[in-house]
Structure 1
Amino acid sequence: MSELTAADEATRAELLAVEERRRRALIDGDLAALDELFEDSLVHIHAPGLVHDKAHLLEHVAARRAYLDMWRGELNIRVSGDVAIVVGELTNRMRAPGGGERTLGGPVTQVLHRGDDGQWRYVSFQMTPHGDEVWGKLPSEQDAAAQDAAQEEPS
């Protein structure tokens, strides 16, 4: 595999459109669209650690209709040939199993592959929910956060 580089604007736009199709299909429960968007080899790891292959994920979406809305933060999109890695924040607003709603957010890593037909499809997805940050920030991260805060203060 060649070196990963930041996606050019055209590739970034393609991948953002694929992500929007995934978002819309999950909210709508559009299994045909999801079937097109996921490669047969998909590994999907939900926030609580539940691992699904493509068939089980489609069954999960059909049976639970959990997704009410979702939105993304800034995305880091890198490519190498026909493989793209997308990393960034995701927030899901979902139906709760016992009724009501819940909102869950955290960083997500997605891997997509461009097939022979030129279409990008998901091969891997993993969400890590925000939780306890037991270690805290590294000294370099604390310094960067302090510098960012100082730049945001009005003069």
Structure 2
Amino acid sequence: MTSEVSRLEEAEARRCAALMAGDASALEAMLAADLVHIHLNGRIDDKIGFMAGFRDTYLFRQVTRGPLNIRTWGDSAVMIGPLTQRLAIRTTGEEMAVRAITTQTWQRSGGEWLLTTCHNAPVSG
């Protein structure tokens, strides 16, 4: 395993930990300014919209990634793998379980990996 793959795995682990901890500052620092986040329902958010949903709408109870296929090309990387989440809607307390395959693109900037794109596709069953 290359050191960059290890660094990307660590970045994704920190991202998941920030989601579960409700740490908006840590999460925002890991996201590129031009983030594109595609939700399971097809809705597309930019960084501002994604962070607003994180702060105002959802509580992340559990975020688990399965085995990740990570490929790097210089300062760019693609990460693909399973994602399971348990979320609660802040206003109602309603809980949702999510199972998806997630494709992410990352860009190294200033020595740090930033998430630039996240696309989630539902897994049935």
TM-score using structure 2 length: 0.92
The 5 A counterparts of 1:96-107 are: 96=89, 98-107=92-101
Distance in 2 between the 1:72 and 1:131 partners?
Answer: 17
Q: CA RMSD in A?
A: 1.5
1:29 Cα deviation from its structure 2 partner: 1.8
1:79 aligns with 2:58: no
Instruction: From 22, 40, 43, give the equivalent of 2:15.
Output: 22
Equivalent pair of 1:27/1:65 in contact (CA under 8 Å): no
Larger radius of gyration: 1
Gapped regions of structure 2 (runs ≥ 5): none
Equivalent pair of 1:43/1:54 in contact (CA under 8 Å): yes
In the other structure, the counterpart of 2:37 is 44
In the other structure, the counterpart of 1:35 is 28
In the other structure, the counterpart of 2:122 is 129
Equivalent pair of 2:75/2:108 in contact (CA under 8 Å): yes
Deviation per CA, 1:109-146, whole angstroms, max 9, x where unpaired?
Answer: 0000001x1100000001101138xxxxxxxxxxxxxx
Structure ranking higher in strand proportion: 2
Deviation per CA, 1:28-47, whole angstroms, max 9, x where unpaired?
Answer: 22111112100100000111
Distance in 2 between the 1:118 and 1:86 partners?
Answer: 18
Give the letter aligned to residue 84 of structure 1.
A
Gapped regions of structure 1 (runs ≥ 5): 1-7, 133-155
In the other structure, the counterpart of 1:145 is none
1:111 aligns with 2:105: yes
Which deviates the most, 105-114 or 58-67? 58-67
Give the letter aligned to residue 89 of structure 1.
P
Identity of aligned residues (%): 31
1:49 Cα deviation from its structure 2 partner: 1.2
TM-score using structure 1 length: 0.75
1:58 aligns with 2:60: no
